[in-house]
Structures are given as C-alpha cells and as structure tokens.
Chains A and B, each alone.
Chain A
Amino acid sequence: MPLRLLLLWAALFLTVQAHALTAEEARALALGETDTRVEALNKAAVSADDKTVAFIQALSDDAVKTSGSQVFIVKDDKAFDPVTGAEKPLPADAEDVINPNLMRSELDNALAALKLLSGDAKLRAEAIKTLAGESDEARLPLIEKAWAAETVPALKSQLELMRAAILLGSSDKAKRLEAAALLSASKNPATKTVLIERLSSEPDADVKVALKAALAKVESSLVWGDRLGAIFSGISLGSILLLVALGLAITYGLMGVINMAHGELMMIGAYATYVVQGLFQKYLPSAFDWYLLAAVPVAFMASALVGAALERGVIRFLYGRPLETLLATWGISLMLQQAVRSIFGAQNVGVENPVWMSGGVQVLGNLSLPYNRLVIIGFAVAVLLGMAFLISKTRLGLFVRGVTQNRPIASCMGVNTARIDTYAFALGSGIAGLAGCALSQVGNVGPDLGQGYIVDAFMVVVLGGVGQLAGTVYAALGLGILNKFLEGWVGAVLAKIAVLVFIIVFIQKRPQGIFAMKGRSAEA
C-alpha cells in the first residue's frame, strides 16, 4: 500500500490540471474486482475535479448504486448521474456497491489526501483529523506540501506536529533527532503522547536522551495550561452549582422550605428553553441565534409560575413541618418528572448552542475556554448580582427579609405575609428556571435532569450556611474547584464521593455551615 500511495501522491503533485470525471472512470471505480477498483481510484484521484471528489465521497458514504453498467449516485431517494449530475430514474434492479475494508480505507485516504489541499479550511481540518495518528513515512511529501501551503495557524501547527511525528518514526537517526528538537518547541498536549509513545520503542540511546529532553520541555510548558484548565473547569462547575443553589438559597436558606422538587423546577426551565428553541425554529428561523435571550425570561416565568402554584397549593399548608415538606415536595418532583415524560417523551431532547456560544478562545496550547462555559459564568454572576440587589435594595426584598426574620411583626406592620411567601417562593423557583436554561446549554435535557443536581445543590446551601448568600457563593465555587481538582487526581466518581464525605465531616465541625449566624439558641 505505501508504494501505491506514494505513486498516487507523487502523481497528485505532478498533475495540476484537473480533468472531468468520465462514465468509464465511474464504472471502473464502482464495478469489478477490488484491486482494479483501487487502481482506478488512484488514477482518478490524481486529477480529481469536484465531480470526482463528490463521486468518491458518495462511494465512501455507500450512496452509489449500479444497474448493469450504469452507475448512479443516490441522494434522498433520487438517483443522479455521476458524470452529468442530472437526475435519472433508478432502475428497479439497482444494487448497492459493496466496499470491502481495503477499498474503504483506500477511499478514506484518497478523500483525506484530496481534502488536505482543498481551499476550504474546514475540510482541511477534517482531513488532518483523519490522517492524524498514522505515522506512515509515505505521507511525508504530501504533508510537507500541505504544510507549506497552509495559512491557518492552528492547522499549520497541527501539520507540523504530524510531520514531526512521522519523522520521529523514520529509520534515519538524524531525522529522528531533528524531529525531537522540532517537537520540544511544541505547546500541544498531543505532542506529549507522541513523544511518550516513541520513547518506549526507541532503540537508540542518543535519540532517547533527546526525546526525554523534549518531553521535559513540552511538559513544563504544558503545566500552567493544565493548572489553569483545572481552575477554569472548577470555576465553571462552581458557576453552575451557584446557579443551581441560588434558588435554594431563597427557598431553603431564607424561607426554610425543603424543596426536593427544586431540581424539577430547573428541568422545567430547561424544557422551556427547548420549547422556545422550537418556536424560533418554526416561526423566526432568521433570528434563531438569539433564541436563548428570549428563552431566559420564559424559563424564569415558567418555573416561577409552577413554583407559585406549588406554594399556594401544597407547601403553604406545611410551613413549620420541614420533614413533611420534604416528603410532599419529593412527591411533587415525581409527578413533575412523569408529566414531562408524558408531554415530551422519556428521551432527552436536543437543545442547540447558538452559533455565538459554540467554539472558544484558545488561551494556551492546551487551554481553551469554551464560549458556552464563559457565558454561563457571566450569567451566574449576573443572576447573583441581580438577586443580591433584589433582596437588599428593593421593597420586595425588604418584605421578604422582614417576613423571614420575624413574621408576626412584619404582619403587624401591614405586610401581607402570605403573599410575600408566594412571591419569595416563586422568585426562588424562577431562579431555578434560569439555572435550567443555563444547564440546557452544557448538558442533556431530559426528565431526570434535576435529580443529578439536587444533592449537590443542598450540599452547597448546607455548606455555605443557611440564610447566607455570601456563604452560598463561596461554597459553590469552593466545591466546584475542589471537585475538579480531585477529579484530575482520582477520577470523577471517587472525587464525588470524596466531596460528599468531606461535607459530612465538615458539617460535624461546623453544623451551621461556613458562615454560621451567631446565636445563643440551645438548638444550635
């Protein structure tokens, strides 16, 4: 195969003139023995034009049918002539073209090689991905050519890495040394793997030393990226926990209501986002990128309304009976989950990132910050500030604080305490809805979305101290970062267990959380 590929690529470079696909070529590619087809493929790829590329692509997608000596590309149940592109009726006896594994890999390689020189940066990126991880020396000229022509810096560095990785596998010692020197300047985490792999199979002592030196250099330039990456994902998780816990800080922290359906209120927010997305797709496809902005208030209102209904219908009869509240709200959560299953089905639904939230900024070679995470961190900060303002500066906030601190006196002052309870609970629920809206951008949206977060959310509130906004913030960020650091160290599940154990132990020492309210109650 290497020889054949070499020939193919050599031919590729020599022939600049593209020539159009002919009917004979199409037949040769689709029919006959595998060997002859591969040969035809190599010939065709040398001077491929768009039609040939499309045909090879169709072959690789299993979208080609043959009938007698006629060849068709089948697309959406319609058959087209590969040469002219005109639609043709598909004969009833048309058969699929069967591609054996050999043919398939040849097709992939031919496509990738063709794409590597394509004018479209996206196609080139794809091709690099396909070809990466193989260190066939026959590829070298092609990659060098592509590297010289490449203009996008990210792709160029990838090609360089590929080139060095191939050189690293060379039988020539000087070339291997050169490659090690080249790679030592790399700031790409993939380089590390390449170097480690080669180190384990390297026979020559000199090269080994060079490889080790390169590895140490790469590692040292990666270490900061790793650290910052862990901190960033910690902050990101913390911001999500914060969003999830902020609503609870009101309903549980201030009002003392154990709301086990909090997770389901988040779920409602996420499904509201899904519905808004659907409406935009249907009625406002031109403004689709901005659906998320519309979804934020809708998610808030949907959850707030459900929350208000819950407070009026169930929770208000259980004030002062926390354990009963816990059970009743658990029942509510079961019913809400089942309701969502009945309406939207038991499967997860798809919520897409708007274009402006996909992608990210590349800060260091091994540290990129995804936009959706950044947006959520900003969103969490905004919700936090908004809530702090609402509670400490507005009339409603004053009433809420008054009622939760001393209900009879607030009532004597003419505050309608029952109504304030409803408002406060609706506010907490609405913030849960906002959290759900944010979660829909980073995770799956399904009926059990809330279940995964409810234990975490309570932990944050309990750890932060009941009735303490600041405590909630510190606890959320602290738990987020702690969790991510442990994750890098012992793995996700053990990290989670360790955090839970940590909280259980912590509560022993400070039963009232980090920021305990000072008091002299015997119950403390």
Chain B
Amino acid sequence: MTTPTLTTPQSLAGSPAAPAVSASVALPVKGPLLTRTGWSAFVVALIVVCAIAPALNLWVPESSALHMSTYAVALLGKIMCYAIAALAMDLIWGYTGILSLGHGVFFALGGYVMGMYLMRQIGLEGNYKSNLPDFMVFLDWKTLPWHWTFSDSFAATLFLIVAVPAVVAFVFGYFAFRSRIKGVYFSIITQAMTFAAMLLFFRNETGFGGNNGFTDFKRILDIPIATPSMRMTLFVMTGLTLLGFFLFAKWLVGSKFGRVLQAIRDAETRVMFSGYSPLGYKLTIWVISAVMCAVAGALYVPQVGIINPGEMSPANSIEIAIWAAVGGRASLIGPIVGAFIVNGAKSWLTVAYPEFWLYFLGALFIGVTLFLPNGVVGLVKKLRKGAEQ
C-alpha cells in the first residue's frame, strides 16, 4: 500500500491526457528467479541450515566455543517458523495489500492438527494410562470425538495440515472477497474471526484440550521427540521449508499471477476495469498464504512442545504483521529478516528487561509505520543508493 489507491471512477475518467494504449504492449522481460549473488546467498543459507548447524550442535563438543546449544537450536527453529508465517503475511499484505489480522488462526490450525497427531502418539504413556489423550479421560469421555478420526495416521495428518486451513480460508475468503470487503473492514473481520476461534478452542467441549491445549508430547513417528537428533531434524526441516517457500514466493510474485496481485494492491478498481476479476486472484493468494502459515504452525508445535488457544489471540496475529512491517513489506527477504529481528529482541528483552518488552514492541509498531514504511530492507536499500550517489 505504498501508492495511494485511486478511489473514484472520476479520477480514472479525468485523465484524458494519458497516452492511448498501443496494441502491442511489450511485457517487461522476466528476470531470473534470483540474481547471481542471490543464488550464492541462498546456497550459503542452505549449507548453514543443513550442514553447519547440525555439525555445530551434534558433533562439536559442548565445551567448545563453537558449540551450538540446544537452547539456540530451539530458539532458531522457532523463529524460522515465525519467519514462514511472516513470509505468508507478506504475500497477502505486502503484495496484495490485504492486511489479515487473523493469520494466527491458520498458524494455530496447522499446529492443532499436528498436536492431535502428537497427542495420539503419546499412546498409553499418559498420566491415566489410557488410549485417549489425558484431557479426554479427565473430561470422562469414552471415545474419540469424530474430528479425531484420522489423527493417528501421519500421512492423514500431513494432508489435513494443508487441507483444514485451506478449506477454512477458502470459505471465509470466498464470502469476504465476493462481497468486496476490503481494507480495514477486512482486517477487523479477520480479527473477529481469530477472536471467535480462540473462544471456541478455549471450550472443553470443542475437543481440543480447552485452556491447556496439547502438551507433554512424547514421540513423533514413534521416535522420541526430545532427543538432540530429533530436534535437529525438525530444525533442518523447518529451515528447508523456509527456503523452499522463499523460492516459491519469489517465483510467484514474479509470475503474471504475482503481477496482477500487485496491480490489485495498487489500484484494484483499475484492475477490474481492465477486465480482471480480482476475486480469483485474491482468493488464491489468501488460501496459499493460509496454508503456508499452517505449515509453519505444524513445524512449530513439535519444536515448542505445546499448542493452546492463546496462539489465536488477536495480539499474536497482529504481531505477525509487525514482523513483516519491520523487515520490509513487498520484499521477500524483508519479513524473514523482520521475524528474526523482532523475535530475537523479544527473547532477549523478555528475559533481561521484561517490563520494557511491551514498550519496545509498541515503539516498534509506531516507529516502523512512521519512519520506516519499507522496513529495514528498504532502509538498507536507501542507504546503499545514497552511498552509490
């Protein structure tokens, strides 16, 4: 939303001086997916995630200064999940101009689907030695509710991680975009959605563990979950997913589809008058973004070891937006950088100066919107340009 939207038809009609559109408009030449430096950076990132981090964590002895602690693995793994969510937010907000304040729902849905599988994997080792998850025994339930039917199959879980949020996003998005709810209206409605979902998941009857959610996971794919090698595997998977999604997003925004999205962002009315129906485009990117977020949530849960309805609180969703904003919207590296900066600062500040964290976060919201409309990445670009001149 860097360019002001032209809001009235008059303003379109009122520019007769615009050059007549010639029949053969040359499309801009499509650039390579990544530049040369871009690819080298990508390969470096790939090596760091797949080789260096595991080596430093698993094979370098703990006494060594180069050893990567379990805490660092957990923290970085968690932040990479956040980075995926920020990337998803960037596609819908930075490139399509739709600010969602409800992405926490998709993140949590992915997490809950994964959590259900992990709860079933506990098997008979729960506190009550029952086949059912502990909280169901506690509620005196005798059988699994219907929505837990496929939760013991890993393949079905993988499918549902994608399918559940996709269906929810499709239904919600279809109705919202069809009646052309946009801008702040859409943001507020998504916030209401996440608020309603949170209230629903807080209830015990919903069958998702109520307040406490899911925790105390023991195994994944019958392998103990808390071992260093399992942690590292999840870490590498998260890193690969992040890099993969990054390439995918890069390809997406460079394609014709992505260009229409940006046109919708800058002047939706013009896009409509040019003969495009924005509904399909908006809906597609909305569902893609929701699914990416859900995958992030599914990777997040086994690493953090807990999922509860708090993930759906409006504050969490809006925080995803600030990661994207801090890093820089409408650039794909921006949200990833932003997620690392904000969450790095969070994990340091909440330990060192807990009372200052909210001041810092609040100031970040204000400062970025007032002074850094293009985020850190935009700032770096600007400084570099200044240096060149």
Cβ–Cβ contact A497 & B200, under 8 A: yes
Stretch of A365-373, A416-424, A498-506 that contacts chain B: A498-506
Contact of A455 among B181, B192, B359, B366 (CB under 8 A): B192
Cβ–Cβ contact B187 & A500, under 8 A: no
B191 to chain A, nearest CB (A): 6
Q: Mark B348-389, 1 if CB is under 8 A from A, else 0.
A: 000000010011011111101110010000000000000000
Stretch of A74-82, A138-146, A187-195, A323-331 that contacts chain B: A323-331
User: Is A322 interfacial (CB 8 A cutoff)?
Assistant: yes
Using Cβ atoms and an 8 Å threshold, which residues of chain B touch A522? 8-9, 269, 272
User: Is A147 interfacial (CB 8 A cutoff)?
Assistant: no
Cβ–Cβ contact B185 & A507, under 8 A: yes
Residue of A nearest to B203 (CB): A493
Cβ–Cβ contact B180 & A511, under 8 A: yes
Cβ–Cβ contact B370 & A314, under 8 A: yes
Query: How far apart are the CA atoms of A458 and B184 in the complex, in Å?
Result: 11
User: Is B175 interfacial (CB 8 A cutoff)?
Assistant: yes
Cβ–Cβ contact A332 & B366, under 8 A: yes
Query: How far apart are the CA atoms of A505 and B355 in the complex, in Å?
Result: 40
User: Is B318 interfacial (CB 8 A cutoff)?
Assistant: yes
User: Is A462 interfacial (CB 8 A cutoff)?
Assistant: yes
Which of chain A's residues 440-494 have a Cβ closer than 8 Å to chain B? 455, 458-459, 462, 493-494
Using Cβ atoms and an 8 Å threshold, which residues of chain B touch A337? 358
Using Cβ atoms and an 8 Å threshold, which residues of chain A touch B272? 522
User: Is A321 interfacial (CB 8 A cutoff)?
Assistant: yes
Q: Mark A308-324, 1 if CB is under 8 A from B, else 0.
A: 00000010011011111
Cβ–Cβ contact B322 & A327, under 8 A: yes
Using Cβ atoms and an 8 Å threshold, which residues of chain B touch A332? 362, 365-366
Query: How far apart are the CA atoms of A333 and B355 in the complex, in Å?
Result: 15
Contact of A328 among B180, B355, B370 (CB under 8 A): B370
Query: How far apart are the CA atoms of A524 and B175 in the complex, in Å?
Result: 16
A507 and B363 in contact (CB under 8 A), knowing A322-B184, A326-B184, A335-B358?
no
User: Is B193 interfacial (CB 8 A cutoff)?
Assistant: yes
Cβ–Cβ contact B99 & A507, under 8 A: no
Residue of A nearest to B195 (CB): A455
Cβ–Cβ contact A327 & B325, under 8 A: yes
User: Is B4 interfacial (CB 8 A cutoff)?
Assistant: yes
Query: How far apart are the CA atoms of A342 and B354 in the complex, in Å?
Result: 11
A334 and B362 in contact (CB under 8 A), knowing A323-B99, A493-B199?
yes
Which of chain B's residues 308-357 have a Cβ closer than 8 Å to chain A? 314, 318, 321-322, 325, 355
Which of chain A's residues 330-382 have a Cβ closer than 8 Å to chain B? 330-335, 337-339, 341-342
User: Is A407 interfacial (CB 8 A cutoff)?
Assistant: no
Cβ–Cβ contact B195 & A500, under 8 A: yes
Using Cβ atoms and an 8 Å threshold, which residues of chain A touch B368? 327
Using Cβ atoms and an 8 Å threshold, which residues of chain A touch B192? 455, 458-459, 500, 503-504
Using Cβ atoms and an 8 Å threshold, which residues of chain B touch A496? 196, 199
Residue of A nearest to B365 (CB): A331
Query: How far apart are the CA atoms of A481 and B381 in the complex, in Å?
Result: 54
Residue of A nearest to B319 (CB): A330
B244 to chain A, nearest CB (A): 29
A328 and B365 in contact (CB under 8 A), knowing A501-B196, A523-B7?
yes
A327 and B365 in contact (CB under 8 A), knowing A500-B192, A507-B185, A511-B181?
yes
Residue of B nearest to A466 (CB): B185
Using Cβ atoms and an 8 Å threshold, which residues of chain A touch B280? none
Query: How far apart are the CA atoms of A258 and B101 in the complex, in Å?
Result: 13
Cβ–Cβ contact B193 & A504, under 8 A: yes
Using Cβ atoms and an 8 Å threshold, which residues of chain A touch B325? 327
Contact of A462 among B180, B185, B202 (CB under 8 A): B185
Query: How far apart are the CA atoms of A326 and B322 in the complex, in Å?
Result: 11
Using Cβ atoms and an 8 Å threshold, which residues of chain B touch A455? 191-192, 195, 314
Query: How far apart are the CA atoms of A334 and B356 in the complex, in Å?
Result: 11
Query: How far apart are the CA atoms of A508 and B366 in the complex, in Å?
Result: 32
Cβ–Cβ contact B269 & A523, under 8 A: yes
Cβ–Cβ contact A328 & B366, under 8 A: yes
Cβ–Cβ contact B184 & A323, under 8 A: yes
User: Is B1 interfacial (CB 8 A cutoff)?
Assistant: yes
Query: How far apart are the CA atoms of A462 and B184 in the complex, in Å?
Result: 10
Query: How far apart are the CA atoms of A226 and B361 in the complex, in Å?
Result: 47
Using Cβ atoms and an 8 Å threshold, which residues of chain A touch B188? 258, 458-459, 462
Q: Mark B169-199, 1 if CB is under 8 A from A, else 0.
A: 0000001101111011101110111011001
Contact of A331 among B175, B189, B366 (CB under 8 A): B366
Cβ–Cβ contact A521 & B184, under 8 A: no
Query: How far apart are the CA atoms of A429 and B180 in the complex, in Å?
Result: 30
Query: How far apart are the CA atoms of A524 and B189 in the complex, in Å?
Result: 17
Using Cβ atoms and an 8 Å threshold, which residues of chain B touch A504? 175, 189, 192-193
B7 to chain A, nearest CB (A): 6
Using Cβ atoms and an 8 Å threshold, which residues of chain B touch A318? 369-370
Contact of B359 among A314, A335, A503, A524 (CB under 8 A): A335
Using Cβ atoms and an 8 Å threshold, which residues of chain B touch A500? 192-193, 195-196
Residue of B nearest to A495 (CB): B199
Query: How far apart are the CA atoms of A195 and B361 in the complex, in Å?
Result: 58
A314 and B269 in contact (CB under 8 A), knowing A326-B99, A455-B195?
no
Using Cβ atoms and an 8 Å threshold, which residues of chain B touch A322? 183-184
Among A321, A342, A523, max chain B CB count under 10 A is at A523
Residue of A nearest to B187 (CB): A326
A331 and B181 in contact (CB under 8 A), knowing A338-B355, A455-B314, A521-B7?
no
Residue of A nearest to B98 (CB): A323
Using Cβ atoms and an 8 Å threshold, which residues of chain B touch A320? 4
A457 to chain B, nearest CB (A): 10
Residue of B nearest to A509 (CB): B179
Query: How far apart are the CA atoms of A496 and B202 in the complex, in Å?
Result: 13
Cβ–Cβ contact A331 & B362, under 8 A: yes
Cβ–Cβ contact B193 & A334, under 8 A: no
Residue of B nearest to A342 (CB): B355
Contact of B369 among A328, A505, A521, A523 (CB under 8 A): A328
Query: How far apart are the CA atoms of A496 and B200 in the complex, in Å?
Result: 10
A331 and B364 in contact (CB under 8 A), knowing A318-B370, A322-B183?
yes
**What are 25 inter-chain pairs, A to B, with CB distance below 8 A?**
A314-B370, A324-B373, A326-B99, A326-B187, A327-B318, A327-B322, A331-B362, A331-B366, A332-B362, A332-B365, A333-B362, A334-B358, A335-B359, A455-B191, A458-B192, A493-B200, A494-B203, A497-B199, A500-B192, A500-B195, A500-B196, A503-B192, A505-B175, A507-B179, A521-B9
Task: State the 10 A-B residue pairs at the shortest beta-carbon distance, nearest first.
Answer: A331-B365, A335-B362, A334-B362, A338-B358, A500-B196, A331-B362, A324-B369, A328-B369, A331-B366, A322-B184
Apart from A331-B361, A522-B269, what are 8 other A-B pairs with CB-CB below 8 Å? A318-B370, A338-B358, A458-B188, A462-B185, A497-B196, A497-B200, A504-B189, A505-B175
Chain A residues with CB under 8 Å of chain B are: 258, 314, 317-318, 320-328, 330-335, 337-339, 341-342, 455, 458-459, 462, 493-494, 496-497, 500-501, 503-505, 507-509, 511, 521-524
Chain B residues with CB under 8 Å of chain A are: 1, 4, 7-9, 93, 99, 175-176, 178-181, 183-185, 187-189, 191-193, 195-196, 199-200, 202-203, 269, 272, 314, 318, 321-322, 325, 355, 358-359, 361-366, 368-370, 373
